[in-house]
Amino acid sequence: MPRRLRRIAINALGVATILAFAFPVYWMASTAFKQPGDIQTYVPKFVPFPPTLDNFTTAVTRPYFPDYLRNSLVISISTVLLALVVGLLAAMAIARARFRGRKSFLLLVVVAQMAPFEALLIPMYLVLRQANLLNQIPALILTYFIFTLPFTIWALRGFIAGIPADLEEAAMVDGANRFQAFWHVVLPLLAPGLVATSIFAFITAWNEFLYAYVLMRDTANFTLPVWLATFRTAFGTDWGGTMAASTLFTLPVLVFFLLIQNRMVGGLTAGSVKG
Amino acid sequence: MVEGQAEAGIGPAVATPRRNGAPARGRSAVRTARRLLIYLPLLPSLFAFIVLLGYPVLLAVLISLQKMGLRELVQRTTVWIGLQNYAAILADPTFWAVAVRTLAFTAVNVGLTMLVGTVVALLLGALGRWLRLALSISLVLAWATPALTASVIFQWLFDSKFGVVNWALTSIGIFGDFTNHSWFATGLSTFGVISLLIVWQAVPFVAFSLRAGILSIPTEQYEAARVDGASDRAIFRRITLPSLLPLILILTFLSAIWDFKVFTQIWTVRQGGPAGETVTLAIYAYLKGITGAQYGLASAVAVVMVVLLAFVLIPYIRTMLRTQDDL
């Protein structure tokens, strides 16, 4: 009997926890699909019926939305490509070769990983100002590149180490040069690792708010997070529009996140970067 | 962790293919060139670290020793004032209030995150298949939500007039009437909402990591304990907890680092308000530096932040390095 009681208690706790973690996301999506009259009600309507896309239309027809979307995409994709190319070079070297200074370099990566970028805002601002990059898209690309580079190196190094070096050597014995061995043997095996690492870098750049908010001055240069943060003030109490905008902003992150979620658990405690 | 360990013992490390019959002369020069060549792929990363990370860090220290405002910045003059910026912030009672508040805020968030994270990790193990799947999915939802979106959602949940939280609390009845209750009227209550949203987002990572850690404990240990008639609580305290301790330590360090410097959530919710009561060090540095254009002062705050963080960072990095075989 106490055993059955325990079972019930555990399941009840389980259901309560499920609701606590899922409800805010559900509430965002549900508000986004509600008719305007169904949002501001004293007794909440839990199901958006009949659903409407009006809020999404309001959100995307706000001035500059296409600019913000383009900026966010350009910045995030450039960050990923830059971090991947630079990171892959370093990761190959430290995973495959032993050389003097290797440990120091790894230590540097670990320390860079933990750099408190929120505290470095002022000097970063001044450096970019010196370089005449304030209010320019490349400023954010460079910033996010250095945010994501340490993790990229660290993660790729792990993925490369998982590929037996014998394979490359076999290819080289068969007459392939080092580059061919990399291109035809390592790269295809590394593809899942590259995808996971790029998604991580993409999410970091896509979500970042503080630097985008401080470094960009012209409205047309804002990214989606800045747009979203100013949305509520600009919109007053239009929670429908705000939630539709939030849903649109979150959707790609959610999809990407589901793809790499399994790799994040082990990888993060090792790589130690927040998702 | 998982990744690092895979590396040990794999493959011959250095590839210096030997060529039989190569002329003896010039071989050492070629070898030296080869040895230097290995540094070539590291150069772009090194360059990036030095220019984009090392230089700003150095600049932060230098500027914290200067009088640097908008005028000095535009005229490109350098006025060294020694430790005056540090003296100024340390003499500022607001700074001390902010520093203490930041530490308390961090401690509360880390404590709650670890506590709830542990409970949820154990819950994942205790639930049946379908509930466990549902819980995993809802955790992933919270984890994947961008910090900014979460801040916006929580403001809507806690909206005074039409927020679903006020309606729910009023409906339950035992807490009294929450109609039109404003959660953002006092600093403490605003912090409550911010902490809730930070913990909501941080728990999934901690819970999943701990769950992975629990699964990696050999089942023989549990079986042996069961045979010896140990209670569930004894098993948890004697087997689960000690095995998880290194992981718990790493997760606590990480949470402390993240929560200490958090900016987005606090800024989005009330910009440090009401009346500056939710200003933490990150917000304080922003207000001094960007809003007030007192770059020297703000840099000094940044340096103080890094020094405070170092108390957590250094043991963390040490622990990290110990878990890596090839370091």
pLDDT computed for residue B303 by the predictor: 93
Instruction: Specify the pLDDT at position B10.
Output: 32
Amino acid B326: pLDDT:
53
**Token pair belonging to B151:** 């801040």
**Which alpha helices (DSSP H) does chain B contain, by range?**
2-7, 27-37, 43-49, 55-63, 70-75, 84-91, 93-126, 129-144, 147-157, 164-172, 187-215, 219-227, 232-235, 241-260, 264-270, 281-286, 295-323
Of B268, B305, B327, the CB nearest to A106: B327
Please write the tens of the pLDDT for every residue from B101-154.
999 999 999 999 999 999 999 999 999 999 999 999 999 999 999 999 999 999
Structural domains for chain A: 2-52 (no CATH), 62-271 (1.10.3720.10)
pLDDT at A263: 65
Q: Does B316 touch chain A (CB under 8 A)?
A: yes
Q: With a cut of 50, say whether residue B205 has pLDDT above it.
A: yes
pLDDT digits (tens, 9 = 90+) for B237-274: 888 888 888 889 889 988 998 999 999 999 999 888 89
- In chain A, the residue whose alpha carbon lies closest to the alpha carbon of B305 is A119
Instruction: Answer whether residue B101 is part of any domain.
Output: yes
Mean pLDDT, each 10-residue run in order, chain A (275 residues) = 87 96 96 89 86 91 90 96 96 89 89 86 91 93 95 91 86 86 88 89 93 91 90 74 92 86 57 37
Tell me which residue range forms the domain holding B96.
80-323
B9 to chain A, any CB pair closer than 8 A? The answer is: no
Contact criterion met (CB below 8 Å) for A73 and A262: no
Question: Does residue B322 register a pLDDT over 80?
Answer: no
Beta-carbon separation of A269 and B209 below 8 A: yes
List chain A residues with CB under 8 Å of B159.
239
Instruction: Give the pLDDT score at A13.
Output: 96
Q: Give the mutation candidate from A17, A200, A211 for the B interface (greatest B CB count, under 10 A).
A: A17
Quote the pLDDT of residue A235.
Answer: 61
Tell me, yes or no, whether B24 lies in a domain. Answer: no
pLDDT over 60 (residue B11): no
Contact B49, A112 (CB under 8 A): yes
Instruction: Tally the domains of chain B.
Output: 1
pLDDT of the residue at B38: 84
Lowest mean pLDDT among A110-119, B37-46, B283-292: A110-119
Q: Nearest CA to CA, how far is B29 from chain A (Å)?
A: 17
Inter-chain residue contact B290 with A13, CB threshold 8 Å: no
With respect to residue B65, please indicate whether it lies within any of the assigned structural domains: no
Place B323 in a pLDDT band, splitting at 50, 70 and 90: low
- Residues 79-118 on B with a CB inside 8 Å of A are none
Chain B residues with CB under 8 Å of A19 CB are: 138
Three-state SS at B211: helix
Determine which of A27, A68, A122 to mutate to test the interface with B (most B C-beta atoms within 10 Å).
A122
User: Is residue B237, in this structure, part of any structural domain at all?
Assistant: yes
Q: Report the CATH number at residue B219.
A: 1.10.3720.10
Closest alpha carbon within chain A to B213: A266
